[in-house]
Amino acid sequence: MRALLPPILMFTNLFAFPGLVDRIPVPPPITPDMLDGMKELPGGLNALPAIPSAIHSNQKSDLGKRLFFDTRLSLDGRTSCATCHNPDKAFTDGLPRSTGFQGAVLRRNAPTILNAAYNQAQFWDGRATSLDEQCKTPLLSPTEMNMIDEHHLIDRLNRIPGYLSDFQSVFAGGPSLDNVASAIAAFEQTLITADSPFDRYMKGDKNALSPSEKRGLILFFSKGACSECHKGVNFTDGEYHNLGDIPGSGAPIDLGRFEVTHQNSDIRAFKTPGLRNVARTAPYMHDGAFATLEEVIEFYDRGGDDTHNKSTLIYKLNLTAGDKSDLLAFLKSLNGSLLQIQNPQQYPDEQR
């Protein structure tokens, strides 16, 4: 049997015979009709799975919801979880970089917590591996809610009789940092938007996406190479990448994932955000550098900026104006129905 040439030599050898190159068949482009017939999409793109019954609203998540909106969980009584994760703004705050304790501007943009239950890790640098762990950080951070320590938090809650009753019912005990975080996480796990046009399309309704949205989906996993990082049911690989974006003037120094791992390869690498409801969560990037999705698409089309340690997955795309329009249309098709979450009436403080 004749030995096969290594692939690179086979490819190189073709250029010695230009006529042979001309006769190599080029796969036809994927059309919307072909897309409709595909049983699986590259990158594991798919509808969100059914919501487990265990994370539907219950007494624990109801307690978490009340805590989520309560400003008394901050030292000065002015900030709640909902300050940075506002239901009216798709659970973001709409700011380039969030404001923290007594109005201080923080380093990073507040990501949405919609569908965060599907994340492998939380925060832009992935320093929290669960929603429970994520909930603890802002409560005690001096730059965010600044409750100083668990003692101050529990002392505050112990002065609110309604909470004492709820914690006893849910946890068979009084408030603790772990229980507070567990309850808030239980509420956040209910924040699922699984009814976007894309979800309906993947579940069999081939008319749920318009022709432009279908062309955008094809671009997403082909020429646009978006699904190299934005993959799976939540449109994220859960990994960390340096996109080659140059920090804006006056932006604070932020080394990203490096601050967690201390690996040089993680300098200025940030977690791939999920893209569900992305049209509602402007501005974009870890520092809110881009005000619109159009700006984001232009950034990726030019291959990012020329910076050190940029991911090899970021390169010039040469998208046409039509490509960009279709890609934008597809991204908008990832919007699910807005959840109608109301701020619950808060328990009164203990009467003295």
Catalytic residues: 144
Question: Are the C-beta atoms of 175 and 157 separated by less than 8 Å?
Answer: yes
- Round to whole Å and give the CA distance between 109 and 286: 5
- Round to whole Å and give the CA distance between 317 and 201: 27
- Round to whole Å and give the CA distance between 138 and 153: 12
- Round to whole Å and give the CA distance between 71 and 75: 9
- Round to whole Å and give the CA distance between 40 and 31: 15
- Round to whole Å and give the CA distance between 88 and 37: 37
Question: Are the C-beta atoms of 128 and 138 separated by less than 8 Å?
Answer: no
- DSSP designation for 268: T
Token pair, residue 214, equals: 């279908």
Question: Are the C-beta atoms of 121 and 271 separated by less than 8 Å?
Answer: yes
- DSSP designation for 101: G
